[in-house]
Structures are given as structure tokens and as C-alpha cells.
Amino acid sequence: MTARKIIIDTDPGQDDAVAILLALASPEELEVLGLTIVAGNVPLDLTQKNARMVCELAGKPETKVFAGCDHPMVHRLVTAEHVHGASGLNGPVLPEPVMPLQDEHAVDFIIDTLRAEAPKSVTLCPLGPLTNIALAMRKAPDIVDRIQEIVLMGGAYFEVGNITPSAEFNIYVDPEAAAVVFSSKVPIVVMPLDVTHKALVTKPRNDAFRNLGTQVGTAVAQMTDFFERFDKEKYGSEGAPLHDPCVTAYLIKPELFSGRHINVEIETKSDLTRGMTVADWWRVSGREANALFIGDVDADGFFDLLTERLARL
């Protein structure tokens, strides 16, 4: 089996960090061409630094990290320090990164890579607001047909919103960018809150990370120790939801997930519901399906995969 070529577009974030670690631990299945960084959970100067810290934690300082957009396409940046802490990666104490940030802008790296690689051989994996991806599509429309698939974390239907009553954070931060992506006709797989809220780090699952006895296992346990307080207080849930690792786990073991091919549109106009993913789960609109919207996960299988792969780092 040849590894699938991916670009991870991300705003780390503890759950982004775990998604990146899972990908870097899985070279048989995934070839990480680069990490493209966006402002989201915290501003860009922190997300790009956090991404490099995570690569160094993984023992992969050769990973290419590119800084991208520092604000959304139209609206001002909304951040989530109330969830992720002031640094975006609160929990473990990690050393300042020494690996370099690449000179090229993330948007240009996405464009150049899609033009250089064979058509439909590169998958984009957005784990944050969709600004970099949408701007790449706008700047170089020829790349759109060259994308193999977009597998992203964002949106919600049954779980509705986490940053407003109707919107999930990644889509809310840049709904105009999300609208570009969802209307692109590229095959899209969506990991909404409906599924990520089933991927909860319970105490035994976090103990399994900690008991790996490695730097990575300890750091991941400390990340989720920090990250879980928000969801425990808000939803009364058992632990931290690992939103973004659902994306990289899907690319490694898609059989862990199930969903429906449906139409998903993005609300950009309404003040009340801006950033809502209007997901036609019940197929009542007659609008053409544009996404595989995931609804369920084999959570035990997901955590077994995660623990087994993190043990490799």
C-alpha cells in the first residue's frame, strides 16, 4: 500500500496536536507533505509555534510547517482561549521549538503542491477555519480539480453549535471561506460535532495514554487533562472530545466511521445563525449531495488506534 499524500491545515489546539501526532505516527498510510497553519484557536503567531512544538514532540523536526492567513476572509478573528488556554496548547510544558518555519506562505504551498503532484493524489485535511483552503481555491482555481478529497473537522447538525447556539467554531470563524469550500464540488468528508462528541477521552482512555510511559503519551494525557474541563463543565461530558483526530483516524481506518452523503450549505448572512452548517441529513431539500457527513464512530476502535500509534513515537 502506498501512503496517501496529505496536507494538514491546522490551528493547534490540543486536539489538533493529537491529530498531527497520529498522522506523523502513521507513515505507512499517510505521507504528510506539510502542515499549513491558520489563525483560529489562538492567533497565528501562536498556532505556527505550537505546530512546530508538536512536530518536535513527535521527533519529526523535518516536517515542513508553513504559516498562512492571520485573519478570516471577511470578519475579524474570533479565538478560543477559553477552551484551549492562553497559548492554545495549555497542559504540558513543551520546549520552545528550534525547527524552522518555512519561508513560503501556506496558501502558495498548497497551490504549488497541488500543481506539482499528480492530479487527484493530494488530500487536504483542514482542522481549523477554512481560510487558507478557500484563498488557495480563489487564487488558483485550477487546483480545485486536482484535489483528491477534503476531509475536514467542522460543523454540526444534531449537536448544533459550540461557539454560538447554531454554529461550530471552525465554520463560525470563517463562514465565507467555508462557503467557498462547500461549493467547490471537491469530494468532502465532514467530521461534525455530532461525531466528535462521541470521541471522548474518558479516564481509562487518558490513563492508557499516560501509561505509555513516553514523552508523547504523557504530553497527550496532560493536554486532554487541561482541555476536558471546558466540555465537562459545559456538556457534563465524561472527558475531552478529540475533534480533530477524527480526521486523521478516518484516513487511516475509515471503517471506524459511518455517515450519510447529503447536501451541506453554509449560512453566511444571518446575524443569528452565521456559520451554521445547514445539513440536509433527512434529505428533504432536493439539493445535490456535496459531502459525506459523518454521524458515528466506533469510539473504542478509535482510541485503540490512537493509543497504538502514539506508542510508536
- The residues annotated with a catalytic role in the active site are 243
Strands 257-262 and 291-297: antiparallel
Asked if residues 262 and 281 have their Cβ atoms less than 8 Å apart, the reply is yes
Binding mask 167-196 for ligand BDR (x = CB under 6 A): -xxx--------------------------
Binding mask 66-95 for ligand BDR (x = CB under 6 A): --------------x--x------------
Regarding 162 and contact with ligand BDR (CB under 6 A), the answer is yes
Closest CB to Ca ion among 127 and 297?
127
What gap in Å lies between CA 232 and CA 63, rounded to an integer? 34
What gap in Å lies between CA 243 and CA 193, rounded to an integer? 7
Count of Cβ atoms closer than 10 Å to residue 30 Cβ: 21
Half-sphere exposure of 26 (CA within 13 A, CB side): 26
- Residues 6 or more apart in contact with residue 268 via CB below 8 angstroms: 175, 176, 179, 274, 275
Instruction: Please pick, from the candidates 23, 46, 124, 127, the single residue that binds ligand BDR as defined by CB under 6 A.
Output: 127
Closest CB to ligand BDR among 34 and 128?
128
Show contacts with ligand BDR in window 251-310 (CB under 6 A).
none
Closest CB to Ca ion among 244 and 280?
244
**Which does residue 162 touch among ligand BDR, Ca ion, none (CB within 5 to 8 A, set by kind)?**
ligand BDR
Instruction: Please pick, from the candidates 8, 13, 88, 130, the single residue that binds Ca ion as defined by CB under 5 A.
Output: 13
What gap in Å lies between CA 60 and CA 76, rounded to an integer? 34
The amino acid at 249: A
The residues of the shown chain that bind ligand BDR, judged by CB under 6 A, are 13, 15-16, 41, 80, 83, 127-128, 153, 162, 168-170, 243-244
